[in-house]
């Protein structure tokens, strides 16, 4: 999905098979973890394409049909990273902030039209994510959630009609940090928390 045109090809294939999408869960993405200047630029472009462009493209293909039927669910998986600048994962955090903002805007646009839209924001979760990143340093100090808990949070958010939901009470409290502290302070706190052990 990180290649241009891949979401369109998927939508075309599903159309050719006569399949209707009633529930769209955009949960494809990956993160990177190192100093920005040390990251492979091509890898960062793939990250942007997969985490944001593919998600938008898939939503473009399937949301209109849901609206036409006045029935459907769109869940875009964002992250706790959406709520604060993420030093050493700058592109990942920015991409998830995009997902949160985009999804909340769609939630507002589609209210009362039969389609439920939710941004699901998990914290560190016991999946293969950190192995793909190449380091568990990013999860330092985080209590790992389970995929099952994240799914349950998603069901709860949909049932409530929320625009977003954060998995876990501690994660929810941490996400409020930016409401009470200057953004500069939040950025510095996040840098200290996220700093690779080698530094």
Residues acting as catalytic residues = 92
The DSSP H or E segment spanning 84 is: none
CB 123 within 8 A of CB 138: no
Say how far apart CA 57 and CA 189 lie, in whole Å.
34
Cα 110 to Cα 70, 74, 80, distances in angstroms: 10, 11, 24
Q: Show the tokens assigned to 115.
A: 């389609």
Burial class of 143 by CB neighbour count within 10 A (0 to 12, 13 to 18, 19+): exposed
Say how far apart CA 88 and CA 178 lie, in whole Å.
18
Find residue 118's DSSP bridge partners.
Answer: 75
């Amino acid at each position: 999905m990180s290649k241009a045109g891949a979401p369109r090809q998927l939508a075309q294939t599903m159309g050719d098979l006569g399949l209707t999408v009633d529930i769209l869960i955009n949960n494809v993405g990956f993160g990177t973890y190192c100093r920005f200047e040390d990251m492979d630029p091509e890898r960062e472009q793939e990250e942007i394409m997969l985490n944001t462009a593919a998600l938008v493209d898939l939503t473009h293909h399937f949301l209109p049909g849901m609206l036409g039927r006045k029935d459907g669910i769109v869940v875009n998986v964002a992250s706790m990273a959406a709520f604060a600048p993420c030093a050493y994962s700058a592109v990942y955090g920015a991409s998830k902030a995009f997902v949160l903002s985009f999804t909340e805007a769609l939630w507002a646009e589609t209210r009362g039209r039969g389609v439920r839209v939710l941004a699901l924001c998990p914290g560190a979760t016991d999946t293969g994510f950190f192995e793909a990143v190449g380091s568990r340093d990013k999860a330092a100090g985080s209590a790992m959630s389970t995929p099952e808990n994240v799914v349950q949070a998603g069901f709860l958010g949909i049932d409530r009609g929320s625009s977003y939901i954060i998995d876990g009470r501690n994660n929810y409290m941490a996400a409020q940090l930016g409401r009470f502290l200057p953004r500069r302070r939040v950025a510095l706190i996040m840098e200290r928390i996220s700093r690779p052990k080698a530094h």
